[in-house]
Amino acid sequence: MTEATERFFESLPARAPEILRGLVSGTLQIELSSGNRTEHWRVQMQPGAIEVSRHRGPADAIWYSSEDLFDRLVTGRAQGISAVLRNECTFSGNVVLFLAFRRFFPNPPGTRDPREVAREQAGRLP
């Protein structure tokens, strides 16, 4: 398990009030594999709160990923939906939980909000 992934999971409870504002509620089991070893993360989400544990248990959705891909996701070098569509990882269960969880991942380095760019461009008009 990389340090970036460990820090990512540790940061979730503090970031949840800002990110989980909707009515999302449920448990996401994340299975991260590397060779013959699998790390288990259980993420319980509810509006404004999240609980993280390293135990397996009943879940509304399960996400299977390699440790390498997950490390790229938590550092902004990969995008969750793109990874699923390219079949780099798999997901089963309540897709709303995956869509909510992916909002915790950072944007790629150098990414800017298009509204910010438009405001800058508008400010440069004669």
Supply the pLDDT for residue 115.
84
CA 40 – CA 32 distance, rounded (Å): 6
Count of structural domains, the chain: 1
Q: What is the pLDDT of residues 19-73, one digit of tens each?
A: 998 889 999 999 999 999 999 999 999 999 999 999 999 999 999 999 999 999 9
Supply the pLDDT for residue 125.
65
CATH number for the domain harbouring residue 76 = 3.30.1050.10
Write out the residue range of the structural domain in which residue 75 sits. Answer: 3-123
**pTM of structure:** 0.84
- pLDDT mean across residues, the chain: 92
Supply the pLDDT for residue 8.
96
Q: Is the pLDDT of residue 93 over 80?
A: yes
Q: Is the pLDDT of residue 1 over 70?
A: no
CA-nearest of 47, 43, 48, 57 to 10 is 43
For the CA atoms of the chain, what is the radius of gyration?
16
Are residues 59 and 27 in contact, defined by beta-carbon separation less than 8 angstroms? yes
